Amino acid sequence: MWIVLAGALVIGLTLGLLGSGGSIMTVPILVYLVGQPEKIAIASSLAIVGSISLIASLPFAHRGEVLWRQVLWFGLAGMGGSFVGAHLASYLPGALQLSLFACVMLVAAMRMARSTPVIVVARESPRARRLMLRDGVAVGLLTGVVGIGGGFLIVPALVLLGGLLMRQAIGTSLVLISLNAFSGFVTHASTLTQLGLSLDGSVISQFIAIGSGGALLGQKLGERLPQQQLKRGFALMLVVMGAYMLWREAPRLF
């Protein structure tokens, strides 16, 4: 029971603090701590992350810090990518999905550890919109294949390409994460039924309840804590977890 409590709280706090990162913690927690099979964990992760992100986005929406134009541009592309990715995932073995997941964690760690932008694009330009659509599709594919929300990609894209302030990027990212996650979850749930597998509603509901509280708490703490130091600390944790997952899963591919 304490594993569920601690894991759900970490997921929620991270989403609330950074607008990203919580989803990338969910699958490893469900697989290695709760003991779920890979495909059930990925589908459960999408339901959990989508619900927590939606609830966490409500205060931002109330304050006008969700930019719906960016939700439309990024969200439609992401939902399409998530749908395709979830179908692709049905043909991949669980060990390959987790190995890909570990690689994504290492990429996320590098992006979070950066203190300065690596690209500068004229905001609201045609090129910026094309790049946002491209990133939306890429994030959606990752969501569908490995069960992450992709906030570590969405937040920088919204700041660099959409011209959003950090608070606006976090609020908008949470809405986009929920759209991508729910889109992928529908396909994954259908695939599980065909495989004769079933989701554990009790685990999902507990993670959602505790994680949502953690996300709202994280938003309050985020107003007082330095964002860059938080990102670097979280990046270090992702490196450790990604390396551990590769060590565990890569040998199973051969």
Q: In the predicted model, what is the mean pLDDT of residues 56-84? A: 85
Q: Residue 147: phi, psi to the nearest 5? A: 80, 30
Q: CA–CA separation, 52 vs 213, rounded Å?
A: 9
pLDDT of residue 199: 92
Percent of the chain with pLDDT over 70: 83
pLDDT tens by residue, 117-154: 444 444 556 666 677 778 788 888 877 887 776 776 77
Res. 244: pLDDT tops 60: yes
**Comparing 1 with 213, which gets the higher pLDDT?**
213
Tally the domains of the chain.
1
First-to-last alpha carbon distance for the chain, in angstroms, is 35
pLDDT of residue 12: 82
Residues in the chain: 254
pTM tops 0.85, yes or no = no
**Full residue range of the structural domain in which residue 79 is found:** 2-253
Mean pLDDT is lowest, of 21-35, 110-124, 169-183, for 110-124
Res. 90: pLDDT tops 60: yes
**Residue 116: alpha-carbon gap to chain centroid:** 22
Q: CA–CA separation, 213 vs 218, rounded Å?
A: 9
